[in-house]
Chains A and B, each alone.
Chain A
Amino acid sequence: DAGVIQSPRHEVTEMGQEVTLRCKPISGHDYLFWYRQTMMRGLELLIYFNNNVPIDDSGMPEDRFSAKMPNASFSTLKIQPSEPRDSAVYFCASSLVASQGDTQYFGPGTRLTVL
């Protein structure tokens, strides 16, 4: 299996621009998670889905952030408009809870820099 795939790996943009991060989970996994990692705040859970349905989005910082999962093999995290404080590494992870317990498999991350 190719593992969790994220794109792009690096994104540099200017304040006010729209940013879209993409994730392809491991085939067959029923949970998908979006995290943000910064030095100041550590690893934060932003939102997670079960069978494409958002379960908990309480970690989404504000209305500028939105996430979708239109099908079982694709999810996006969008920031519009972006701000310098959004600069971070964003990770996507997936899991198959029914048979593998709660082990999450992480993608390599997208490093976002907002100038």
Chain B
Amino acid sequence: GDSVTQMEGPVTLSEEAFLTINCTYTATGYPSLFWYVQYPGEGLQLLLKATKADDKGSNKGFEATYRKETTSFHLEKGSVQVSDSAVYFCALSDRGSTLGRLYFGRGTQLTVWP
């Protein structure tokens, strides 16, 4: 079945450090891939997405490239800020029998210190 595995947290970084959060997936079809972010006390919100292989999603300095050969969608940012402290979720959708549904990873807590 469809599933997402992302790196265990928590991740703690100093401001301006480089961030990578790993995400790999298993899917029966040709999924779209997503990164969602959850700030404290809020719901999840879309950070970026990619709908086909080799696409790169980007937003707010974050990037992720859809790698079909390695079934991965790692999240990166070159220089994190304190305001990036949040929980990050990798997710996939597989437009088969589960059209509309997203499969989420467990989430990775990121804390950035000044």
Contacts and interface: CB of A to CB of B under 8 A. Distances in A.
Contacts of B43: 4, 91, 93, 106-109
A48 B100 CA distance: 9
Contacts of B44: 43, 91, 93, 104, 106
Interface of B: 32, 34, 41-46, 49, 51, 89, 93, 95, 98-102, 104, 106-107
- The interface size bin for chain A is 20 to 34
Interface in A7-53: 31, 33, 42-43, 45, 48, 50
A56 interface: yes
A111 to B, nearest CB: 9
Contact of B32 (A31, A93, A101): A101
Contacts of B102: 102, 104
B100 A102 contact: yes
A109 B41 CA distance: 8
A101 to B, nearest CB: 6
26 contacts: A31-B100, A43-B44, A43-B89, A43-B104, A43-B106, A48-B100, A56-B98, A56-B101, A91-B43, A93-B44, A95-B100, A97-B99, A97-B100, A101-B49, A101-B51, A101-B93, A102-B32, A102-B93, A102-B101, A102-B102, A103-B46, A105-B45, A105-B46, A106-B43, A106-B44, A107-B43
Nearest to B103: A45
B107 A106 contact: no
Contacts of B101: 33, 45, 48, 56, 102
A107 B32 CA distance: 22
A30 to B, nearest CB: 8
Contacts of B45: 105-106
B6 to A, nearest CB: 11
Contact of B106 (A4, A42, A56, A105): A42
A107 B41 CA distance: 11
B59 to A, nearest CB: 12
Contacts of A4: 43
A26 to B, nearest CB: 13
Given A48-B100, A95-B100, 10 more contacts: A42-B107, A43-B89, A43-B106, A91-B44, A101-B49, A101-B51, A102-B95, A104-B44, A104-B102, A109-B42
